Structure formats: C-alpha cells, structure tokens
C-alpha cells in the first residue's frame, strides 16, 4: 500500500511518537509511507531518516479548502491508496480531500477525549460556542471517514456522545516500543541524576509532560511541602516545556527548598530521566491514552495518577498505581508518602506495572497489526494480502 500519515504538530510529543512508531512498523511491513505535517520539523526529520517520504501542508485551524486541495494534489501525484490522519484538524483536512481524490480510503485517528458535545472545557460562553462549532464541523465531515480509530474506550465514548456514528468507531489502544528501554540493562541512575543536580540517594518524584493546563503540573509542585514534612531531602523533577513553564517555575520558587524542584526542560533523552525517578506522577485533568504512563511502567516505576479514562485503561488501581482526585496536592503528597514509606509497596507497584504491559498487549507491533487490518477493511483487500 501507499499510505499517507498526516500529523498536525511538527514537534515530537505523545501523538507524534505514535506516528513515528506506526511509520516504523508500516515500513517494516513493506508499505510505502508518506508523512505530512504543517511545518518542517523534528517529526518529518525523524521519519525521513527511517525511509518515509515527507511533505509540508500548512493547515490553519478549523478548515482550509486550500490545504485540502494541496493534499489531494499530493495524493494524485504519489498515487496514494489511503490516508491516516491524527487529530481534529488533520482529520477534517483529510476528509475534505477525499471527494477531490476519487477512490481513496480515509482513516481518522482521535487521540484525545475533547468532550466537545458538552461544550468542551471552555469556561466562557464564547469558548463553549467555539467548541460546539468544532463539534459540528467534526460530525459533519466524519461521513467521509471510512473508519475512526479511537486510542481508548474513553475516547470512543466521548465521540459517541459528541454525535459521531458509532459504527465508524474502533478502539485501538496505543502501545510503546519496548526496544527503547534496552538501555536499562546498562543504565547508571546516579550519573543521570548528577546531570540535573539531584543527589543519588534522594527520594525523587517526577513527571514528563507538556506544561499546559491539561497536565496540572502546579498540583504536583504544590504537593512537595507535604512530602518534605517526612522526607526533607526529597526532590521533584519536571521534564518538559510548554506555555505554563514560567508560571510553574514561579510557583516552585515560592516553596522551593534549596533547589529541590528541578525543571529539566525538553530533553531528547527523557526516558533516562524517567528511569532515574522513584515515583512517576501524571495528574492530568484529561487524557486520551498517555504513552508516558506506559513508559513509566516499562521502567518498573510506581505511578500516581488521576482518574481520567484513558489512564485508567492502562494502570490497575492499587496494583500498579495509586489513583488520586483531581487538583489535589495533599492527595498527591499522601500517595507519595505511602509509597516512599513502604519499600515492598514501591517494588510491587513497579513490578505489576511492568507485567501489565505484556498482559494488556501494549506494544507497537500489536498496534500496527490492528491498524493494517483496518486499512485492509477500508480498501476491501483480503486479509491474506497487503
């Protein structure tokens, strides 16, 4: 098959890692893979090195017939068989390109539960109306999708509530490439900690996250005084960048004890920093299917998380993770103290998390197999042939 993957961001975060892993497996299966994004950037650079063909398609928010026509021209020039798009705006662009492209299969991918049917998470009247506009546009164009892949059951139910035809929806949960964790065999926890100024023996909570309202990193920062009451040498490591970075640093400065809240910024070696932690925290207000939780489990780390649907489909409450309420720094501190005070609990949570990756099939090879089956169905190709 000739497959075009369309992503919105050119930076590499969770959704783009999904695209990269999928491209890797599709190329290994012998497909010709093309990847489009709004600008030239790290995503296109990485997939080009892997052997994919790349192109840039600027996409303004909501919709653009110009962008749709450019996608359609690329489809015709490259004789593309199928598009898989990722996220609302690429989904809409790919759907608009379909009527211009003859016989073309279009697979949309939903990575987040947007809750658009209820006006999204907007606090203002104007914001709610804008969300309903997006909802209507998404619903209207969804008729051009052959199938819509939801990365969790939580996302699927959100799309049904939004008004998408349930018969178009299929759940294929995200996975991770476990080969990326081979470094654990020779990993030096002490050396990695030293790079960011964290003592080798200090209890370390941390997160890897885009610093945005969704991730609520301020609650993690606010939990640290409660942790320090019993573990005064504890540190907090925050890896990532985003629009709320300055705000988070300011909040940390007000309570920081001798630099024990460390902001590492964006790191290409984030997995090594993850493996140097004692506890991984993801206290998001919403999630689709967060890869970083699976990555923490691959490092055998205990997890503290909030009860968002996508996350709860990954962890096992009280077996691999402690689940705490939203926006609740005292609850984060209490969960952290419980883990830090009980070595056996810490060990068992981490071990169970690693076991769940295999039991639940959270591997990119499984994802690629399921996605290719959707491709075959959309194109009417026999399962014995690609």
What SS3 state is found at 323?
strand
pLDDT digits (tens, 9 = 90+) for 110-154: 998 766 444 455 667 776 777 788 888 999 999 999 999 999 999
Residue 121: the pLDDT is 58
Residue 180: the pLDDT is 94
Residue 385: the pLDDT is 43
Dihedral pair phi/psi, residue 109, rounded to 5°? -125, 125
Do the beta carbons of residue 240 and residue 212 sit within 8 Å?
no
DSSP 176: B
Show the low-confidence residues of the chain (pLDDT under 50).
116-119, 384-386
| Closest CA relative to residue 37, chosen from 73, 76, 89 | 89
Top CATH class of 179-359 equals alpha beta
Residue 212: the pLDDT is 92
Q: Would you list the DSSP string of 278-345? A: SEEEE--S--SS-HHHHHHHHTT--EEE---HHHHTTS-BTTTEEE--TT-HHHHHHHHHHHHT-HHH
Please give the helix or strand (H or E) that residue 103 lies within, else none. none
Residue 13: the pLDDT is 81
- Which ranges in the chain are annotated with CATH 3.40.50.2000? 2-175+363-379, 179-359
What SS3 state is found at 192?
helix
Provide CATH code, domain 2-175+363-379: 3.40.50.2000
The predicted model scores a pTM of 0.92
């Amino acid at each position: 098959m000739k497959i075009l993957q369309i992503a919105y961001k050119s930076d590499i975060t969770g959704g783009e890692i999904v695209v990269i892993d999928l491209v890797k497996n599709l190329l290994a299966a012998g497909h010709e893979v093309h990847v489009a994004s709004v600008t030239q950037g790290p995503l296109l650079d990485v997939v080009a090195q892997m052997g994919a063909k790349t192109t840039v398609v600027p996409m303004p928010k909501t919709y653009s017939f110009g962008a749709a026509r450019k996608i359609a021209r690329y489809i015709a020039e490259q004789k593309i068989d199928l598009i898989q798009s990722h996220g609302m705006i690429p989904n809409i662009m790919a759907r608009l390109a379909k009527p211009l492209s003859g016989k073309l299969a279009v697979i949309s991918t939903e990575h987040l539960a947007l809750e658009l049917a209820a006006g999204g998470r907007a606090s203002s009247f104007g914001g709610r109306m804008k969300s309903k506009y997006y909802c209507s546009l998404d619903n209207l164009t969804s008729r051009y999708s052959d199938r819509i892949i939801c990365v969790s059951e939580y996302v699927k139910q959100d799309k049904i509530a939004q008004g998408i035809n349930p018969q178009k929806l299929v759940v294929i949960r995200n996975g991770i490439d476990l080969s990326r964790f081979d470094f654990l065999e020779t990993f030096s926890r002490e050396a990695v900690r030293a790079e960011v100024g964290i003592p080798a023996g200090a209890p370390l909570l941390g997160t890897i996250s885009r610093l945005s309202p969704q991730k609520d990193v301020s609650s993690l920062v606010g939990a640290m005084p409660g942790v320090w009451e019993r573990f005064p040498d504890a540190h907090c490591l925050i890896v990532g960048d985003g629009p709320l970075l300055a705000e988070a640093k300011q909040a940390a400065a007000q309570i920081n004890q001798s630099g024990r809240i460390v902001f590492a910024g964006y790191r290409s070696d984030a997995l090594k920093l993850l493996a140097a932690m004692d506890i991984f925290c993801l206290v998001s207000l919403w999630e689709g299917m967060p890869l970083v939780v699976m990555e923490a489990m691959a490092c055998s780390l205990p997890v503290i998380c909030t009860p968002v649907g996508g996350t709860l489909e990954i962890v096992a409450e009280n077996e691999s993770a402690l689940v705490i309420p939203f926006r609740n720094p005292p609850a984060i501190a209490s969960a952290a103290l419980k883990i830090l005070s009980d070595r056996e609990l810490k060990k068992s949570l981490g071990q169970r998390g690693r076991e769940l990756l295999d039991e639940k099939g959270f591997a990119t090879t499984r994802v690629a197999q399921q996605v290719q089956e959707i491709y075959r169905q959309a194109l009417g190709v026999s399962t014995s042939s690609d």
